[in-house]
Amino acid sequence: MPAHAHLPKEHILLLKNFVNLCEKNPEIIQVPELDFFRTWLIKLGAKIEQTSSSTESSNKETSDFDNASSHSHTESASTEHTTKETTHEHEMESDPEKFDREGVVEPDNDEPQPMGDPDVEITDAMLEQADAKRSEAQQKLGEGQLDEAIKLFTAAIENNPQSAILYAKRAQCYVKLQKPNAAIRDCTRALEINENSQQALKWRGKANRMLGNWEAAHKDFCKAQISDFDEDVQQWIKEVEANAKKMTDHKRKYERKREEKLLESKRERQRKAQELYEKARKEEAERRKNESDGKDFSGFPGAGGAGGFPGGT
């Protein structure tokens, strides 16, 4: 059609009404009947946001649709949605009785221990000092003097902060003192230096087990065994295996429920968008019918409001 071609006024009015409807209820553009229209808009370069799967977006869209019907219904739907969301979060954290929590301790919240300067230039003298402090620390560890051992391992680390084994051995002391968070910090640093450090994986796994992080513990133990087989680690794997499996299954169940809930919410939004679309279509059809009836009878005798014709006022 040429750019200067005349468009019927009723077509322009219909388009204007439709645009107004879309501005008030953007979700209506998502109804299946308007697939062709969305495709055309995208070809023109328009960006049409897809229905968000996030909880925040779901709340907003649900509220927008409900506002189209009534304020009271919005409050009811919002309360119901919040209740369901809270229930799902509770489900994720519930059922602690299903897990064997023997050996689980309260997390430690001490200030982070000194980690040494990773950028320091290490001299031969510093390496000798680190080795000497490590030997002393090992002796104290064997004697059960854990606090002294930690001080000596810290001195060794400050002289050689690029030695993964020093962090791993200090982590062992923290585990024995039931300070799993401190142990995890040391082991994580050790694994940054050497990702396959068997000692770091072993003691981080033990620390995670103490915190009830069953899956993380199982993962660390298994990787430690790949690096170097250890009888203790093999026994620890057996201790956490059942709980790790339960937690994995629990997460899958929760995730499945969450996905089902999101799908249900999406379908509800689409249903409401379809209702809005049908309502607008019927209203427009009724308006056009009334306009058509007015054109057909306004000029006949007896037609109300038709000035200038017999029977008119």
Structure tokens at 296: 């057909």
Kindly tell me if the per-residue pLDDT of 258 is higher than 90.
Answer: no
pLDDT tens for each residue of 98-113:
777 888 999 999 999 9
Judge contact between 138 and 155, C-beta under 8 A.
no
Domain 124-248 is found in CATH 3.90.180.10: no
Say how many C-beta atoms besides its own lie within 10 A of residue 129's C-beta.
Answer: 16
Q: What is the pTM of this model?
A: 0.56
CA–CA separation, 122 vs 220, rounded Å? Answer: 30
Show Cβ contacts of residue 270 under 8 Å, excluding neighbours closer than 6 positions: 30, 31, 51
Do 146 and 179 touch, CB atoms closer than 8 A? no
Between 53 and 84, name the one with better pLDDT: 84
Going from N- to C-terminal start, the domains of the chain cover: 124-248
Mean pLDDT, range 114-127, rounded to an integer: 96
3-class DSSP assignment, residue 7: coil
Report the range of poorest mean pLDDT among 148-152, 222-226, 231-235, 245-249: 245-249
Q: What is the pLDDT of residue 22?
A: 77
pLDDT score of 1: 52
